Chains A and B, each alone.
Chain A
Amino acid sequence: MADSPQNPKLDQSVPGVSPPVIAPGYNFGQVTEKISNVVLTPYTPWSWLGGFLIAFGIVNVLLLACGWLFLKGTGIWGINIPIGWGFAIINFVWWIGIGHAGTLISAILLLFKQSWRTSINRFAEAMTLFAVVCAGMFPLIHTGRPWLAAYWLLPYPNTMGLWPQFRSPLIWDVFAVSTYFTVSLLFWYTGLIPDVATFRDKAKNPLAKFIYGMMAMGWRGSARHWHRYETAYLLLAGLSTPLVLSVHTVVSWDFSVSVIPGWHATIFPPYFVAGAIYSGFAMVLTLAIPIRAAYNMHDFITDRHLNNMAKVMLATGLIVGYGYLTEAFFGWYSANQYEAFMIKNRAFGPYAVTYWALIFCNIITPQFLWFKKVRAHVPLLFVISLIVNVGMWLERFVIVITSLHRDYVPSSWGMYHPTVWDWATYLGTIGLFVSLMFLFIRLLPMISIFEVRTLLPQAKVKAG
């Protein structure tokens, strides 16, 4: 190790510029108390109850929308021919993209030894899981007949002797998303084991003690266990890194393997991955800012975290902007009249409003993040993150709808208008996501306690 044995407090901050990752003055016990007191208390704040009830009410909207869908079929949605892909695929791509930031924070930043990731990785990973849950709903319900998804999507020996068609990106997507969910869950759970062991030993309530005890599986913090644990954790990070890049690549292939103008482009995989991380970091900021205010976690989620996340958002936002430029350039350079028309139709056709709104949200708004004052201004940062969330949803709307509604032959053109059920399903998944986040914050440590302990100066063992 190359750490200097001088004043450990100086070690924490990068000379001159950045404030420390964790506010100074904490010891192991205080870190443990501060994070676990949010959960290990019989007292549930009214604000939590109120927020959860509102979110849970919206989940019931989702149940209603799905129930009506299963009864009536996809006719209740705005889809038609030629726009066979509507809100279901837009929301699927939006949600799965949001999940990507969690894996980026937990895996890629771990491999790059970015220690600031430590206080935000736990709830970013939770965000990933819940976002993938919301995303996964749409492939299942998008036919209006979810029970058919079993043999359309999954390779299992059925009495009809049918098997999925493995040359289709849609089946690649099934494998990519289900693997992504499983690996994210494993990663999250592995990270939780030492922390729920802390909860097991601290909890007073016998039921809580029992449940955390089962989850901790008898973890006791043995050095031999830590050795294998760290190896497993690092390997999981190494495996998640190519995985997360593959997931949105495969999602983009759902589009780019087809021959629709505006979809059939080689720029799609990197452009989709950058967009995913962009929207994901926006969502992490959207969650982190209110959570840190509500639970007074300013010492762990410091302004440096917000600043760094804003920088990642700016960088990925610029890559996304480059993607838009490339699309426009190829509309002209390909000398293909359909591609050229697609670009023109996007910017000046019937859906021009969504296109320019997307340019405003995704390209213009993040430019404010160049300024340090904006990155340090928390309410402004929150507003920008919300705008980017909206912008990334609009991006998927533009990609899906404007490409499909006018492709080759004008006689087969059409228009798409989402119905109230489209909106209800979308809103419902937001409710589901928020409800799951509320439950997570109340029941599990939202910040990784054992990893924050390693950030304290006392955790550094002097060599020799």
Chain B
Amino acid sequence: MKPQGTYGVMAQFDTADELVAASRRAYAEGYRKMDAYSPFPIEALDEALGIPHTILPWIVFFGGLFGGMAGYGLEYWTQVIEYPLLVGGKPFHSWPNFIPVWFETTVLGAALSAVVGMLALNGLPQPYHPVFNVESFVDHAQKDKFFLCIESSDPKFSLEESKKFLQGLKPVGVWEVPN
């Protein structure tokens, strides 16, 4: 990451429709390193920006698998190996009795990996991000307006050209985003 210079150019739109249309246009124009910002999830943006499907479900699957194995392992180790107690004449490895705890730890592992995985893939927590340098973004992005930012790391990016392109989409405003 460059310490100074430009992060990208950003345009603001009034409606979700305009943002989706602008994202499609930018994608068709050949831009790839860009991101759209909206105050609520918009499914159509995934396809408009060419966002690949997240690997999060696999993280959750393995998190659940790990949680389940850890839970059952704990039960087996404590009840059969480390501290075998004869309870009601049941075998030490009385697996039907182990199901509830195994189930709970599976859910726990999966749920923890869903949240931690989502945050990690999103690169959060992140104390600083250049988009917050745009005043209108701070005022409206989490509230009522829609933003599209073409990033300077895109091979097709040029400050002048990209700015002109965004202005052609009839936005409310276009800003250069300092790093």
Interface of A toward B, CB cutoff 8 Å:
1, 27-29, 32, 155, 161-169, 171-172, 175-176, 179, 182-183, 186-187, 189-190, 194, 197-198, 200-202, 217-232, 235-236, 239-240, 242-243, 246, 250, 253, 450-451, 453-454, 458-463
Chain A residues with CB below 8 A from B45, complex form: 223, 226-227
Chain B residues with CB below 8 A from A32, complex form: 39, 143-144
Interface string of B1-40 (1 = CB under 8 A from A): 0000000000000011100100100000000000111111
Chain B residues with CB below 8 A from A164, complex form: 78
Task: Give the distance to chain A from B26, nearest Cβ to Cβ, in Å.
Answer: 12
Interface string of B44-70 (1 = CB under 8 A from A): 111001010010110010001000000
Could you tell me if A165 and B85 are in contact, using CB atoms closer than 8 angstroms?
yes
A221-B110 contact given A198-B143, A228-B122, A246-B104, CB 8 Å threshold: no
Task: Give the distance to chain B from A78, nearest Cβ to Cβ, in Å.
Answer: 30
Flag whether B131 is at the interface (Cβ < 8 A): yes
Main DSSP-derived SS at the B contact region? helix
Given contacts A232-B114, A461-B42, 14 further A-B contacts (CB under 8 A): A162-B83, A163-B78, A166-B98, A167-B94, A172-B100, A194-B142, A221-B141, A223-B36, A226-B40, A227-B46, A228-B118, A239-B64, A453-B40, A461-B20
Task: Give the distance to chain B from A300, nearest Cβ to Cβ, in Å.
Answer: 15
A279 to B64, CA, bound (A): 31
19 contacts between A and B (CB under 8 A): A28-B39, A29-B144, A163-B82, A183-B107, A194-B39, A197-B142, A201-B143, A218-B129, A219-B124, A219-B142, A220-B131, A223-B45, A229-B122, A232-B56, A235-B110, A246-B107, A250-B100, A458-B15, A459-B42
Closest to A219 in B: B124
A201-B78 contact given A163-B83, A218-B126, CB 8 Å threshold: no
Specify which of A169, A217, A222, A231 is in contact with B36 (CB 8 Å cutoff): A222
Interface of B toward A, CB cutoff 8 Å:
15-17, 20, 23, 35-46, 49, 51, 54, 56-57, 60, 64, 71, 74-75, 78-79, 82-83, 85, 87-88, 90, 94, 97-98, 100-101, 103-105, 107-108, 110-112, 114-115, 117-119, 121-122, 124-129, 131-132, 138-139, 141-144
A140 to B85, CA, bound (A): 24
How many residue pairs link A and B with beta carbons under 8 A? The number is 200
Closest to A194 in B: B142
A461-B46 contact given A167-B88, A223-B35, A235-B57, CB 8 Å threshold: no
Could you tell me if B107 and A217 are in contact, using CB atoms closer than 8 angstroms?
no
A200 to B132, CA, bound (A): 12
Chain B residues with CB below 8 A from A166, complex form: 75, 78-79, 97-98, 101
Could you tell me if B121 and A228 are in contact, using CB atoms closer than 8 angstroms?
yes
Chain B residues with CB below 8 A from A201, complex form: 138-139, 141-143
Task: Give the distance to chain A from B16, nearest Cβ to Cβ, in Å.
Answer: 5
Task: Give the distance to chain A from B69, nearest Cβ to Cβ, in Å.
Answer: 15
A128 to B83, CA, bound (A): 36
Chain B residues with CB below 8 A from A243, complex form: 104, 107, 111
Could you tell me if B117 and A221 are in contact, using CB atoms closer than 8 angstroms?
no
- Across the A-B interface, the 10 shortest Cβ-Cβ residue pairs: A217-B125, A218-B126, A232-B118, A28-B144, A172-B100, A29-B144, A163-B78, A226-B41, A198-B142, A223-B45
A1 to B57, CA, bound (A): 22
Could you tell me if B51 and A220 are in contact, using CB atoms closer than 8 angstroms?
no
Task: Give the distance to chain B from A327, nearest Cβ to Cβ, in Å.
Answer: 24
Chain A residues with CB below 8 A from B143, complex form: 28-29, 32, 198, 201-202
Specify which of A176, A221, A236 is in contact with B115 (CB 8 Å cutoff): A236
A229 to B56, CA, bound (A): 10
A242 to B40, CA, bound (A): 28
Chain A residues with CB below 8 A from B90, complex form: 167
A246-B56 contact given A197-B142, A220-B37, A454-B41, CB 8 Å threshold: no
Task: Give the distance to chain B from A246, nearest Cβ to Cβ, in Å.
Answer: 6
A43 to B130, CA, bound (A): 33
Could you tell me if B117 and A246 are in contact, using CB atoms closer than 8 angstroms?
no
Specify which of B82, B118, B119, B139 is in contact with A231 (CB 8 Å cutoff): B118
A183-B111 contact given A201-B139, A453-B39, CB 8 Å threshold: yes
A459 to B37, CA, bound (A): 14
Task: Give the distance to chain B from A198, nearest Cβ to Cβ, in Å.
Answer: 4
Chain B residues with CB below 8 A from A225, complex form: 122, 124
